[in-house]
């Protein structure tokens, strides 16, 4: 990879518009109603994790309602459903003993084995019902039946019941049928393995088909899991494997059940059902060599693991490190008797999946997280967003949203997003709206062949920043970028330092000074992209880091600064600076009318000279500083303070003799 000038990136955000609407680190759940309005569910209090439900107009410019619901404990949303009338159903975890419930519901009070809530809001945001759900497990899901009752799937090794009805049995999973108004428990069944003998089964999710049949998927380690005679896989193939079970819509008896897995551990994380009742699952499989690691089909997109030596750190010093995993995507017949297609989806490091949806054309769209720099991506999404460290990683992780064609042969679109651990999304008309970290991001699945910006970072240090400074270098990566492309901030054209097919280096306009925020757009032939929003921070002092010709940076607990010694040579571990020596550093985002200080380690370094670099490197200031005589040797952190309220901590490091 060739990176031009000082241009790099650490945020692989998305095509199109990014809306800062989520305000906690909890996953944002996303859905779209029949009127094309967007429903967003997240936690409005990052400390107490309260439930927040909001409804936005189709263009996301208007908030139609904003409801906050919860008790005095932690209330975390887990599943979001809508019906054709615009009613909103949310199920989630709670340890609030005072979670607000409505009269007459099955479980109105908190009990020892009560861990979840189930809330229905009407299309205006008013509460229709609110109930606890009795369950002691870690996962839960709800799905509607054809007669508008509700099926609740939960993990529970203890008896579950209410109103004189107790659902008993040996299985570690339970299905409950709840009346449409949540006032009556109509029945239920247990299924799965016996917890005390084989360990508990883990629930991944539940869906219903057009006939009302109920499909449940998860993970089991039980050799006696109740699979059926015509199952695709009737024996447990490894220590742990996925399972799928199909239940009839009338009496919830098991119509079909199968294992899903190969010779190493596998786990299902999500499932989906298409309009013809075909079953899709996505999950994770331990990395190992060999063609039988996980069953794949002929012509599938990826049939073998990509070789690599990535390893995860141990969870604690007394346990071995967990294995790295790859993602799999499998489509099965409605009766679970055979695979339609099955493929791996992975690079050479580590991936895990979070969920899957099926669009109207039958394409499977999956989401998850990757550590792999070679994860399959398309178009502008394929861009490597900045340099990588000498350890092989440039970010802890990146979210992905990937679309497979109907045969499972081709990745039609694959987007890499920012540093996140969970993505929830909804797809409609080749557009995906995803809850990504603290943002709501709109993606076009057809953007891969159009002029597009995939990523935007500070042009000096590769960090994701939601703000820019006037006169700062910003670097954009994408694909199919023409020579006449323009980057606009509030309609003001920025000066372009470099334009290439996959990269643009720009200087933000000085006219942004004094503005609270700005919107950035890519303009090609007079046609503008959707805006990306930044706040304006003036100043935003940022130190340039050193990048090798092959696109690597040297990582020593932080990136090595681009520092030149008094003889013009580059500061490196083998070429350290000396005490009292004058060293040149390069920065962007400064405001030179404000006081400026540079710290090396804990020492205040003498600022000898400050000059703006002319010409090609507009937006760059050179700082000449003296290494303090009191400074200790070895690797030292660098910090820049520009004005009283603007300090960049651990901006980079420098080697001192």
The CATH number, out of the four listed (1.10.287, 1.10.357, 2.60.40, 2.30.30), of the domain defined by the range 542-656: 2.60.40
Q: Measuring CA to CA, how many Å separate 605 from each of 557, 599, 630, 652?
A: 21, 5, 10, 15
Domain 454-536 identical in fold to domain 542-656: yes
Q: What is the mean pLDDT of each run of 10 residues along the chain (657 residues)?
A: 30 28 49 86 62 84 89 86 92 90 94 83 97 84 89 81 77 89 92 65 92 94 90 94 92 93 94 95 89 88 83 70 90 97 90 88 88 70 50 54 90 69 60 58 58 77 81 82 92 91 87 91 82 84 80 68 92 90 91 87 89 71 89 82 70 85
This model's pTM is above 0.75: no
Start-end of H helices in 105-252:
195-198
CB atoms within 10 A of CB 429: 9
- CA–CA distance, 1 with 257 (Å, rounded to integer): 48
- CA–CA distance, 134 with 145 (Å, rounded to integer): 20
User: Is the Cβ–Cβ distance between 455 and 478 less than 8 Å?
Assistant: yes
CB atoms within 10 A of CB 281: 28
DSSP state of 362: S
- Per-residue pLDDT, 150: 93
Contacts 24+ apart (CB under 8 A), 219-225: 219/243, 219/266, 219/267, 219/268, 219/283, 220/192, 220/193, 220/259, 221/193, 222/192, 222/193, 222/194, 222/197, 222/198, 223/198, 224/193, 224/194, 224/198, 225/192, 225/193, 225/201, 225/257, 225/259
- CA–CA distance, 320 with 308 (Å, rounded to integer): 19
Q: Which residues share a beta bridge with 335?
A: none
- CA–CA distance, 179 with 252 (Å, rounded to integer): 15
Domain residue ranges of the chain, discontinuous segments joined by +: 454-536, 542-656
CATH class of the domain defined by 454-536: mainly beta
Q: Measuring CA to CA, how many Å separate 306 from each of 289, 382, 429, 616?
A: 9, 17, 32, 41
Strands of the 38-43 sheet, one edge to the other: 29-32, 38-43, 51-56, 63-69
Q: What is the per-residue pLDDT across 2-45, written as a single tens digit (0 to 9) for each?
A: 333 332 222 222 222 333 333 333 446 888 888 988 888 876 55
| Residues in CB range of 559: below 8 A, 6 or more apart | 389, 461, 462, 545, 546, 553, 652, 653
Q: What is the per-residue pLDDT across 381-417, written as a single tens digit (0 to 9) for each?
A: 444 555 554 444 334 567 788 889 999 998 877 777 6
User: Is the Cβ–Cβ distance between 562 and 545 less than 8 Å?
Assistant: yes
Q: How many CA atoms lie within 13 A of 61 on its CB side?
A: 2
Q: Measuring CA to CA, how many Å separate 516 from each of 13, 24, 185, 508, 536?
A: 22, 22, 54, 14, 5
User: Is the Cβ–Cβ distance between 583 and 590 less than 8 Å?
Assistant: no
Is residue 511 helix, strand or coil?
A: helix
- CA–CA distance, 242 with 198 (Å, rounded to integer): 15
- CA–CA distance, 416 with 398 (Å, rounded to integer): 6
User: Is the Cβ–Cβ distance between 292 and 305 less than 8 Å?
Assistant: no
Maximum Cα interatomic distance, the chain, rounded to a whole number of Å: 86
DSSP state of 170: S
DSSP state of 593: T
């Amino acid at each position: 990879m060739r990176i031009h000038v000082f241009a790099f990136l650490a945020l692989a955000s998305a095509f199109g518009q990014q809306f800062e609407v989520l305000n906690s680190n909890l996953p944002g759940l996303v859905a779209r109603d029949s009127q094309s309005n967007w429903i967003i569910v997240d936690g409005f209090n990052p400390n107490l994790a309260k439930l927040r439900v909001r409804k936005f107009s189709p263009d996301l410019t208007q908030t139609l309602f904003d409801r906050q619901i919860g008790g005095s404990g932690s209330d975390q949303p887990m599943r979001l459903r809508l019906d054709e009338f615009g009613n909103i159903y949310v199920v989630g975890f709670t340890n609030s003993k005072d979670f607000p419930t409505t009269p007459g519901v099955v479980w109105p009070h908190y009990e020892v084995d009560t861990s979840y809530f189930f809330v229905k809001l009407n299309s205006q945001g008013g509460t229709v019902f609110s109930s606890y759900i009795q369950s002691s497990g870690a996962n839960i899901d709800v799905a509607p039946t054809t007669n508008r009752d509700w099926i609740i799937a939960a993990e529970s090794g203890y008896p579950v019941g209410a109103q004189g009805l107790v659902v008993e049995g040996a299985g570690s999973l339970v299905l409950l049928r709840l009346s449409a108004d949540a006032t009556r428990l109509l029945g239920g069944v247990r299924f799965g393995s016996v917890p005390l003998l084989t360990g508990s089964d883990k629930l991944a999710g539940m869906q219903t088909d057009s006939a009302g049949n109920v499909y449940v998927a998860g993970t089991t380690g039980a050799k006696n899991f109740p699979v059926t005679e015509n199952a695709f896989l009737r024996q447990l193939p490894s220590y742990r494997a996925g399972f799928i079970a199909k239940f009839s819509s009338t009496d919830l008896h098991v119509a079909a059940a199968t294992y899903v897995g190969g010779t190493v551990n596998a786990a299902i994380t999500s499932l989906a059902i298409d309009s013809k009742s075909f079953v899709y699952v996505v999950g994770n499989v331990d990395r190992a060599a060999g063609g039988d690691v996980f069953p794949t089909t002929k012509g599938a997109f990826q049939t073998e693991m990509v070789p690599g030596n990535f390893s995860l750190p141990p969870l604690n010093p007394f346990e071995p490190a967990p294995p790295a995993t790859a993602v799999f995507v499998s489509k099965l017949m409605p009766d679970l008797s055979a695979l339609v297609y099955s493929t791996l989806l992975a690079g050479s490091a580590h991936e895990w999946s979070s969920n899957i949806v099926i669009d109207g054309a039958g394409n499977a769209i999956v989401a998850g997280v990757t550590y792999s720099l070679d994860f399959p991506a398309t178009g502008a999404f394929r861009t490597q967003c900045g340099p990588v460290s000498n350890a092989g990683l440039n970010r802890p992780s990146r979210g992905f949203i990937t679309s497979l064609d109907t045969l499972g042969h081709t990745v039609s679109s694959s987007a890499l997003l920012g540093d996140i651990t969970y993505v929830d999304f909804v797809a409609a008309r080749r557009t995906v709206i995803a809850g990504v970290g603290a943002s709501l991001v709109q993606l076009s699945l057809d953007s891969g062949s159009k002029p597009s910006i995939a990523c935007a970072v500070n042009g000096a240090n590769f960090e994701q920043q939601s703000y820019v400074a006037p006169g700062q270098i910003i670097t954009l990566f994408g694909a199919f970028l023409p020579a006449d492309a323009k980057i606009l901030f509030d309609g003001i054209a920025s000066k372009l330092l470099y334009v290439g097919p996959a990269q643009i280096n720009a200087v933000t306009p000085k006219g942004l000074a004094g503005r609270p925020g700005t919107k950035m757009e890519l303009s090609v032939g007079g046609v503008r992209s959707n805006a990306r929003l930044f706040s304006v921070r003036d100043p935003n002092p940022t130190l340039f880091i050193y990048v090798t010709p092959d696109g690597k940076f040297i990582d020593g607990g932080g990136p090595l600064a681009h520092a030149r010694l008094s003889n013009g040579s580059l500061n490196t571990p083998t070429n350290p600076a000396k005490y009292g020596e004058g060293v040149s550093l390069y920065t962007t985002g400064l405001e030179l009318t404000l006081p400026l200080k540079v710290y090396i380690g804990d020492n205040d370094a003498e600022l000898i000279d400050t000059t703006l670099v002319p010409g090609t490197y507009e937006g760059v200031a050179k700082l000449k500083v003296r290494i303090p005589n009191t400074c200790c040797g070895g690797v030292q952190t660098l910090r820049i303070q520009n004005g009283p309220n603007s300090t960049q901590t651990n901006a980079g490091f420098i080697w001192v003799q």
